[in-house]
Amino acid sequence: MNDLIADLLARMQNSIMRKERVVNVINTKMNKELLRVLKEEEMIKGFEEKEKNIEVELAYDGNEPVIAHFTRVSKLGQRIYVSKKEITPVMNGRGIAIISTPSGLMSGAMAKSKGLGGELICKIW
């Protein structure tokens, strides 16, 4: 398995489709940062580091998940970069774009407000 971010997104997508409350993902620095951004944006309830994995508690609004779609934009074979002017809202503001900037991972809205561009990792709504 080479693309650990795609694995994280697929595991979360599959768990949401099965209405599970908790999902285990591989413990990497990038995954922790991605989950930190999702927690800041209140798209997941939280996450806890274990020895070899991270236990992610998914957020639900009643029986409906807060997030339902994950799209990996920048892939291993083709990196996609955006400038601050190219950052657009996802689903008219209902979703977020996660961007890897020189200041670390952050949501598209945060990157745009700070005047930063970077690699567009994924879109989540």
pLDDT in tens, 20-39: 999 999 999 999 999 999 99
Q: What is the mean pLDDT of the chain?
A: 96
Contact status, residue 124 vs residue 95, Cβ threshold 8 Å = yes
Q: What are the b/e assignments for 4-31, b being 16+ CB within 10 Å?
A: ebeebbebbbebbeeeeeebebeeeeeb
- In this prediction, residue 103 carries a pLDDT of 97
Pick the CATH number of 4-65 from 3.30.70.1560, 3.40.50.150, 3.30.1370.30, 3.30.70.270: 3.30.1370.30
pTM of the model: 0.94
Confidence check: pLDDT of 1 > 80: no
Q: Please give the Cα distance from 100 to 108 (Å, whole number).
A: 9
- Topology of domain 70-124 in CATH is Dna Ligase; domain 1 (3.30.1490)
Rounded mean pLDDT, 97-110: 97
Q: Which of 101, 92, 48 is nearest to 58 (CA)?
A: 48
Rounded mean pLDDT, 30-59: 97
Confidence check: pLDDT of 102 > 90: yes
Q: Please give the Cα distance from 44 to 54 (Å, whole number).
A: 13
- In this prediction, residue 24 carries a pLDDT of 98
